Structure 1
Amino acid sequence: MLVDQLPLGWIDDNEEDRFRLEIGDLVNLLSRQLGNRWRFNQLSKKIELDGKPIPVFELENLYCHLSQRGFTISKEKAIDAAKAAAMAHSFHPVVEYLDRVASDENIVPAELDQLGSLFWDTQDPLYDAMIRKTVIGAVKRAYEPGCMFRTCLVFKGGQDIGKSTSIRVLASPAWLTDTAQDKHEDFLLAIHGCWIYELAELDSITSKKEAGALKNDLSSPKDDIRVPYGRAHDTFARQSIFAGTSNRDDFLRDETGASRFWVVELPHNADDGFVIDLDRLRANRDAIWKSAVLAYRDGEEPRLSQEHQAESNRRNLGFELKHPWEDYLADWLHNLLPHIKEFTAEEALNMSGALGSAYDMGWGHPYPALPYKDSVEVGKILRRLGCTQDKHPRRRTILGQSKRRRWWHPPDTSGTGQ
């Protein structure tokens, strides 16, 4: 117990008169007796003694234990003094670790542009780039809390191949949180107490509302939280990043936030005994983080190139929940080629049978205008299927009627563009 490390404060031998402490007295006493054994962990935001966190209840009862040893001080003053003494020896365990591995000449930096290939058995330059930028983003968040990093690396693959464990190995168990929080306030507190927060529940997000909330959480660089030993909420810059795992093909629910996710498809199959080599990853963990620190110090930003981000966005279309209209429209477009070069959203939705049964009045006939929501939805599907839409309205005469529309065009299968 903390007070066992402190001297007695009785003024008389009968242990009746106590020595009155002011805040400064207790700060000096703790500093003199404990030195840097009594420290404040900037990651967990907890006070530690010899590397072990001090429970909140022990700090709240500090004034009681001091009274038993011959001192008198109020509860609030005792807590304030304990915090002040610890903060004089503040440290950040992740920053200390990164500084150490970066300066260790015995550690050979890993090949930063081949991390996916070397440790997750992928053979795709985009996946290598995603993992590279993620570890640099984690380093930057440690050194520059609140810096811009709004993306989440997602390992997608079968069960029992080591997806979550590989994230834990990379972060270290002490600096990773993967426990889902029921209350949003607890969720915010959790992400401010770790270096990497694993979104292991990505598969359970079933509504656009939940997906939209997650998008906002990914985007925020700071939060108002009440930390351990705190009496009120305060604003803290984020020092953590997100990583996720998924077994499903349709885990993205909000297309407006899909660009936030960098999805790495893993080739492993537990049934065949092909899993992530966690021992190899563990053995090279220091080398990976050293290479990330060096890249950060060279000024590399944790952002994909425009080409890589565009390709990531395109691939993410395949991880979105398929709309019931999509198969109808895909079949209709397949049968349509090469007979027609442009059409309207109303024609596509009615003639494909997506609305329940094919309502075919022929090309150019005035189908009922779509509600705005349906028009937006069919547009998303057509783009996902490779269709393009005119940037500006054009006027055409069909069946003797002049129509001014932004016409849709089927996918170009010639390879030459339209």
Structure 2
Amino acid sequence: MSQLPLRAQVASALGRTAATLSRMTGRGDGSVIGGRIGLVVEPDLLRQLARDKRLVLVSATNGKTTTTRLITSALHELGEVATNAFGANMPAGHVSALSQAKRAPYGVLEVDEKYLPEVLDTTGASVVCLMNLSRDQMDRAAEIWLLAQKWRRALDGRPTHVVANCDDPLVTWGASTAAQVTWVAVGQRWKEDSWSCPECGGPLDRKDVDWACRECTFHRPEPQWVLDGDSVLDPHGRRWRLDLQLPGTANKANAAMALAVVASFGLSPDRALPRLGEVKSVAGRYTMVERDGRQARLLLAKNPAGWLEAFDVADPALPIILSVNAQGPDGRDTSWLWDVDYRVLNGRPVFVTGERRLDLALRLDVAGVPFTLATSFSEALAAQPPGRVDVIANYTAFQQIRSEFGRAV
């Protein structure tokens, strides 16, 4: 690996020091502040840190933190990997991650959907993984069709190898300008944002797993990798069983995407799968925490598609605590709550908390779901009988709960 210029070395060192101090003082995990300071000292630091690494950029509305973790775990089979494990997915977080592992030959970076074109241009990443696009933080990220269009323009003419979910029409459209695409069929449970063709605006016809535009030639590509129940079919037709500790259908999809990505590095499924099976929690997601005889499993859901997947994982026999905020990282607009079908919660005790608990309470009331209001997560947890409970929270509410238990990972 070539030596960084002196200015970049100083910037990287100052950033690492700031990150360490942040962790030591309990102000945070250091995944952002170090990068911010580094970029102030050397604005071109991300490009310089990325220069000698084989990088994967992972972007999606849902699942990018988990898929980043799975890819990272598998690539450790080949050597050291730099990664933003805690989900700091904008350039400051990327600088911090790469600074912490300057000598690592590989890097796997989760990237915010909006920032993907900028980060790809800066880093020249060799592989990009694109999984899904659905409505999320409309007050910040704008229409998802515009995001797909940005992806499309950023990939046009680049030699980047794209691994993309062909079951999502918006992802397919965004990825289809790339010079090399590996298509992966992992399904699309949330379809409410992709009934219209992004190419011409016509209606999309769907039949089983297939889809095609009724008015133009835009259609689902033929996949090379296919998720089939608990197994993945590779491009040679071989079947590989997924033995994961992470729960739910969505994580099988994330694992299938990860297998396709690491295959581009020459890592075969038989070597990658044991590594994927070691992952049991991701930045607090799926972690079980305990207080006063109550075991709470933490689930993150930030948008309608994410809540659909969280309901799939939640145990219908258990009580459930729901917590919603609307701070900057969440998006200030909570109108997305009306796109979630909460009727699936009928028949179990439901407790509602968070800064925007009244917004959620109104939505549940309209859906006919009985609930109990709580002024805080601690109050909601204390109201549970000893035993297990599921917790679903959006981003900042999730982080607040996680902090109460020492930011459990």
- Shared fold, TM over 0.5: no
- Larger of the two Rg values belongs to structure: 1
| Higher RCO (CA-CA < 8 Å; seq separation 6+) | 1
Q: If the length of structure 2 is used for normalisation, what is the TM-score?
A: 0.24
Q: If the length of structure 1 is used for normalisation, what is the TM-score?
A: 0.24
Structure (1/2) with the larger helix percentage: 1
